[in-house]
Each structure stands twice: as C-alpha cells, then as structure tokens.
Amino acid sequence: MAEEILKERVRELIEALGPVEVLVGIPTYNNALTAGHVVMAAEAGLATYFPERKALIVNCDGGSKDGTPEVVERARSDAGSLMAVRYPLDPVHHLMTPYYGLPGRASAFRTLFRIAEVAQARALAVVDAELRSITPEWFNALLEPILSHEFDYVAPYYRHHKYDGAITSAIIYPLTRALFGRRVRHPIGGEFGISGRLAGHFLKQHVWGTDVAHYGFDIWMATVAVAENFKVCQSRLGAKVHESRDAGPDLSDMLVQTVGSVFSLMEHYDSVWRNILGSLPAPLLGEPLGARSEAVSINVPRAWSSFQQGVRDLLPVYKQLFASQQVRDLEYCAAQPFDKFNLSDELWVGLVFDSALAYHRRVIDREHVLKSLTPLYLGWVASFARQTENDTDAQVDDRIERLCLFYEQLKQYLINQWSMKGYEKR
C-alpha cells in the first residue's frame, strides 16, 4: 500500500466535502505580500467561470514565517463576503494545510495531487503565490481546456519580453521540443492545469525524493505528459510578473538544476526521444490576456566578458567535453572584438548536445559538466542580444524558431552518439 501523505484530519475534511469537480492549488512559502491577491483572483475566477461546478481552493503552505496563512485567511473572508454579493461563491470551499517534508515545489504538488485524488477532482489548476499579474481569467484558461476539451496537461503560454526567460529560449524549450517532438513554449512556466487522471498518474511515479523532483519538477511534469502521450495543450495567460525579491538564484545553480533535470530525463526517456524526428505544434488556446511582461535588460558587455574569461579559464575542461574544432571555434569567438562577436546557432546547439553526451557518459563529474555551461550560455546571451537589439518581440520569436530548427536538424547526431561506448565528438 502506498504511503498516505495526508494527515487524517485533512482527509476527513476533504471527504466531508464530498466529490468536487475543480481544485485550485496555491502553494505558499513566505508570500504574505501577494498571496491574498492570488486567492482573491482564484475566487473571482471560479465564481465567474465555473459558478455551477463544485470547487475547492487549497492553500498548501510550507511553513511560512511571515504570516502568509493569516493573509490567505483574511483574503478568503474579505473576498468571500465581497464576491458573494456579485457572484454566488457556493459551492467554493477553502482548505488550508501545511505540506510536510522539504518546503519545495514537489512536496507541495504531491500533497495537491493526493488531495485531488481524494476529492475526485476532474481538473486541477496550480498557480504561483508570488504573482502580481494574475487575473481571474487565468483560472478559466487553465481549467476550461480540461473540463470542456478533455486535455490532460495545460501548459502556460505567456506574453513575455523578448529577453525574458532566456534559459528557456536558449536551451529548455528548443531541446525538449527537439527531443519529444512537441512545441510547448513554456515547459517550466510555474502555472499549469492537469486532469484528475494525470494527477493520479503523477502520484504513482517513483520521482519523489529525487533531484529531479527537488529541482526540476515543472519540466518533469511537462516531459511525462508529452513523452507518455497524454493530451497536451497550451493556454494564453498574458504577462507573468512576480513580486521582486532582493536576491535571485545564482545563474550557475539555475543551469545545474534546470538543464540537469532535462539531461536526467533524457536518460529516463531515451527509448522515446531516439525514435522522434521533427516536431508538431501543441494546440494553443485562448486570446492574449493583457500586456506583455516588464522589460528585461541584459548587460551585454558583462555577459560577453564573462564568456571570454570562462573560455580562458575552462579551456582544459572544454577540451575534454568538445571536439577539437568546437574548441577552436570557441577560442576564435572569445578572441573577436565585441562589435564582431557572434556565437552561431550551429556551434551553440553542438555544445549543448555534446554537454548532454558528456553528462550521459560521465566524462567528468556531472555537476562540473553543467556548471561549465554557464560562460557558454552567457556567450549565447551576449551574441543573441547584440544581434536582436533592435528587433521586435515577433522578430525575436522568429529568431528562436530558427534556433529550434537547428536543434531538430542536428538531433540525428545526438541519436547516433547516445548509445556508443566511445562517442565521436562533433
């Protein structure tokens, strides 16, 4: 029998409510500044778009120390009395429970999936508690495709500034698209909708407690849904604007966690992606909501300088990971004056693929492989930003599409080398 992750009191509360059709999950951890706004948006969304469907809002808190649970409770009470005047909130209920174990996303999601299973929910939407841009329309966008069109996984599609989410644009989106053959533009977006069927499937997987669960749970969910042939779509949400934090995650750590998760999933699903060439679009639903996200600035000279320094310092490492011609190309790029600097798409994709092969073959310590990508990624960012400085968002989208096609065109090399004991570097 599987371990029961819900406390008995929580199970009793859910069972007393009876089956629900719609569940909204709001994981929180020290989000007192924004959690109330998110809860009110959820209530308004459910009341506006699903007034006849029994719904449950779950705030899954990871031990907040800033009064987040109290903020959520006040928002629920205030919004409930206010919204009841205009929209009947019944049968929307509220449940608050801390999730146990590490205060990470996977722990919260596992709790939410189990609650959805016990509550027999048809559809579950999960949203970030840090959002300032969320509106009631987001909940319709995430839930309606499941309830009306029987999709299993609804990925977010944001209106973003051309330089927002550069790691996704440079690596995560084009790589996962090339691997699994579906064009899901924001596979690590943070917001998503899933069917009750898929939530139950996630619960049965042996991922809990792994590094992928701790650091790459969003990309894991998207990959499982696509690789295992669940019905996947994208839904337009508008801009994603977070509450600003004083210190963001270290870039090198972000690459280790996100790219490392994708490389690990490549090993788990190699029997799937090695039989796929090309890609197909994932259905994109809805009309654009609101304006694009806030502008993102890039310090191009600093990124370029970090690339140059990284190539000099890590040259012995790169000689272990990449072919001689690639190393020469890197040295040539690093020696160019700023106004002529260009890291080509072909070189960049080859570096990503050979890094994946080196990770798979354990040519050096896996974390060292991933961290060695940091200056190379900064080189891509500098080159990309310099070339697209005067481009519109639409033109940059076309530029990313061309990059994706390079990933797809060079994939046969990756397939050929994957199972070779001593692979030949490009």
- pLDDT tens-digit series, residues 360-371: 999 999 999 999
Stated pTM of the model: 0.90
Predicted pLDDT at 234: 97
Predicted pLDDT at 100: 45
Residue extent(s) of CATH 3.90.550.10 domains in the chain:
8-285
CA 270 to chain centre: 21
Give CA angle at 39 (34, 45), nearest 5°. 125
Cα atoms in the 13 Å half-sphere on the side-chain side of 146: 27
Matching residue, tokens 């896996």: 366
CATH tag, 8-285? 3.90.550.10
What is the widest separation between alpha-carbon atoms in the chain?
A: 71
Mean pLDDT of 354-381: 96
Rounded mean pLDDT of the chain?
87
Nearest Cα residue to 59 out of 11, 9, 128, 123? 128
What are the tens digits of pLDDT across the range 390-400? 888 889 999 99
Find the helix packing angle between 35-49 and 68-86, rounded to 10°. 30
What are the tens digits of pLDDT across the range 268-297? 999 999 999 999 999 999 987 666 667 778
Predicted pLDDT at 142: 97
Does position 5 have pLDDT exceeding 80, yes or no?
no
Distance (Å, rounded) from C-alpha 105 to C-alpha 91?
28
